[in-house]
Amino acid sequence: MVGGLVALGVLAWCSSAVAGMADRIGATFGLMSEDFIRAFNPLEALVVGFEGGALYLDIGQGGGAQAGQEFTIFRKGEEFHHPITRKILGRYEEVLGYAQVRTVYPRFAEAVFVAIEGKPVPQPDDGVRITRGRIKAAITPVLDLTQSPTPPDLRRVAYLLAIVLERSKRFQVTDPLTVSDLFAHGGAYVQEILALPERAVRISKKFDVSGWIVPVLLERRGVVYLDVTWISAVTGTALFSRREPLLPPAAAEEQRFPWEPPSED
């Protein structure tokens, strides 16, 4: 009888430990989401130099530049006019490639140039921008590296992260169900998105996205962390990541969305 009670106690503890894990991840991501949103604030700047594959942009820390941003590089062409009034409406633009910011200084930023085949190389006075439109993104299933004896059900996490991103008005998130189906049936693996750039780019084309958000659970010295990485769909490489200790159950409960059911995964 004593042995049975001990076993029941262990099972109850394990159930309590994993219950609400999805909610804790969602609440923890809420704390770091502002960093992701800030990285994709609409920005425009100019190329001021190009040397040895490195681009120099006339935007620094005060202008909102930060390491990990990805700008589109464009060259302005001829003007186009209204067919009746002949007023100038704008200029044609040719996309030359992409600039992935590596180092930011007070008055300028250094970026890696990612070329588009067949396009000319950038020159000073070419423009760079982060679009004002919503950034198309996909969220992978959670990669759980904690080796928990009782793995929690984390299928809701992608939806919780998508809600946070969509509400920011800066992201358009691909339907998590469509994405999870691809991973669930062996069409892709989260490890590929993280470690195989060519594979990540190829999978990105299926969803027509600008990048991937990859949530990972890690355990270090008894503390469980949520690590979230942004993977570029242009190069398949990680541009930046954020890591936070997972919020405790009580804190996560306080930050639940009002329409969600009780905290049971």
Measuring CA to CA, how many Å separate 71 from each of 35, 58, 131, 168, 263? Answer: 17, 13, 8, 20, 40
Pairwise CA distance, residues 14 & 8, whole Å: 10
Provide the pLDDT for residue 256. 53
Whether residue 19 is predicted with pLDDT greater than 60 in this model: the reply is: no
Mean pLDDT of all residues belonging to the chain: 87
pLDDT for 144-187, tens place per residue? 999 888 889 999 999 999 999 999 999 999 999 999 999 999 88
Whether residue 107 is predicted with pLDDT greater than 80 in this model: the reply is: yes
Could you give all domains of the chain from N- to C-terminal order, each with its CATH number?
A: 21-39+135-254 (3.40.50.10610), 43-130 (2.40.10.410)
Task: Residue count of the chain, please give it.
Answer: 265
Q: Are 260 and 20 contacting, i.e. CB atoms less than 8 angstroms apart? A: no
Q: Are 23 and 263 contacting, i.e. CB atoms less than 8 angstroms apart? A: yes
| Residues in a beta bridge with 114 | 98
Q: Are 30 and 255 contacting, i.e. CB atoms less than 8 angstroms apart? A: yes
Measuring CA to CA, how many Å separate 24 from each of 92, 150, 163, 186, 256? Answer: 47, 16, 15, 27, 9
Pairwise CA distance, residues 34 & 198, whole Å: 29
Provide the pLDDT for residue 257. 52
Q: What global pTM score does this model have?
A: 0.83
| Phi, psi values for residue 57, rounded to 5° | -115, 150
Q: Which amino acid is at 40?
A: F
Q: Are 67 and 74 contacting, i.e. CB atoms less than 8 angstroms apart? A: no
Q: Number of C-alpha atoms within 13 angstroms, CB side, residue 32?
A: 22
CA angle 52–58–64, rounded 5-degree value: 115
pLDDT for 55-87, tens place per residue? 999 999 999 999 999 999 999 866 666 778 878
| Phi, psi values for residue 23, rounded to 5° | -70, -35
Structure tokens at 87: 């007023």
- Annotate 163-186 with DSSP letters as a single string: HHHHHTTSEEE--HHHHHHHHHTT
